[in-house]
Homo-oligomer: A and B are copies of this chain.
Amino acid sequence: METVRRMPRAERREQILDAATRAFAVGGYTATGLDDVAAEAGVSRVILYRHFESKTDLYRAVLDRAGSRLGERVGESGFSDQTIPALLRAADADPDGFRLLFRYAAREPEFRDLIDDFTRESVQIARQHLAARIADPKWADWAARLVFAVAVEGVIAWLDAGRPDPGTAAERVSRAVHGVIEAAS
């Protein structure tokens, strides 16, 4: 019988967050039980409650951390030729968090607020850039949403493909994004 791995409280908390991110990234909030999280963390279910008040609390902590990391790396103002590379780096640094945020949290009524700020702001920035190129504001909005979706989907598809060619990935995603911008103008 293997000896039990003990950790100081703060470290365990982080380790649980890591494991929970992985577990939730598989199927989202409702499809993931606390037993799954506990198993992934290699810890009994009760321990989760010594670090987080509830499943909701834990999930929000996971999303918060993922969202903060994303915000730190990408920044939340402006769009430059460094934005896409930064998005890639953020996804590379925390792939499960990235997937979880955009693949699941964005569709979960209770939790989407945690990623919607980022999305809304990004789309808003895209809209401002596109307004000069697209006369009809309805279609500018449409294009802004699509541009953001292409960036995110491009990154997730890159993650799912096993993160090939990290050096040139940003260039490829950028080209796709600009391809849509051109096509929409």
* B-binding residues in A (CB < 8 A): 26-28, 30-31, 103-104, 107-110, 136, 138-139, 141-143, 145-146, 149-150, 153-154, 157-158, 160-162, 164-165, 172, 175-176, 178-184
Contact B150–A157 (Cβ < 8 Å): no
Which residues of chain B are within 8 angstroms of A26 by Cβ–Cβ distance?
Answer: 109
- Copies of this protein, total: 2
A184 partner, pick from B28, B172, B183, beta carbons under 8 A: B172
A176 and B183 alpha carbons, distance in the complex (Å): 5
Shortest CB–CB separation between residue A26 and chain B, in angstroms? Answer: 8
Contact B164–A139 (Cβ < 8 Å): yes
A138 and B162 alpha carbons, distance in the complex (Å): 9
The 5 closest A-B pairs by CB, nearest first: A179-B183, A179-B179, A175-B183, A149-B153, A30-B30
Which residues of chain B are within 8 angstroms of A139 by Cβ–Cβ distance?
Answer: 164-165, 172
